[in-house]
Amino acid sequence: MKTINETMINEHGKIRSMLIELENTSDLPYQKKLFNQFKWTLEKHFFVEEKVIFSIYHGEENMNNLDTVLKEHKDIILLIKKAEENLNQGHLDIFDIKTIIEAHAEFEDEVLYPKLDEELDENQKELILDRASEIIRE
């Protein structure tokens, strides 16, 4: 069975690849299409974390980590909206998005996800992975 860490790191890889592709294209119609795909992938990723993982992994000892992740999600969403407005005006700047996503993913990959795999029982992990697979595709 795959771990939560492996599954979510794979998702971070998809998100990073999309950001790189966005940076490396200057074709505006393609940027818009790719940005919409990126935004949808990110929204599904956040949904898995917020509605699947955090509904199972809670408790007072975990609240600081979860609060941090949720705040970063809100910050990223605000940056996405700003970037989308700029893109609709013909200019895409994703530097701030890329910077915050890298830091966010690093925390999750190195701290949060390994902790989930360590602390959750097999039934909880299986439930998370099953639900996540319904939302995100390999």
Q: Read off the CATH number of the domain in which 77 is found.
A: 1.20.120.520
- Whether residue 7 is predicted with pLDDT greater than 90 in this model: the reply is yes
Q: Phi and psi at residue 30, in whole multiples of 5°?
A: -70, -40
Per-residue pLDDT of 40-52, as tens digits, reads: 999 999 999 999 9
- Count of structural domains, the chain: 1
Answer for the pair 56, 124: CB distance below 8 angstroms, yes or no.
yes
Q: Count of CB atoms within 10 A of residue 99's CB?
A: 11
> Which range marks the domain in which residue 42 is found?
4-135
Distance CA(134)–CA(75), nearest Å, equals 26
Q: Which of 37, 32, 31, 33 is nearest to 15 (CA)?
A: 37
Residue 131 pLDDT grade (very low, low, confident, very high; cuts 50, 70, 90): very high
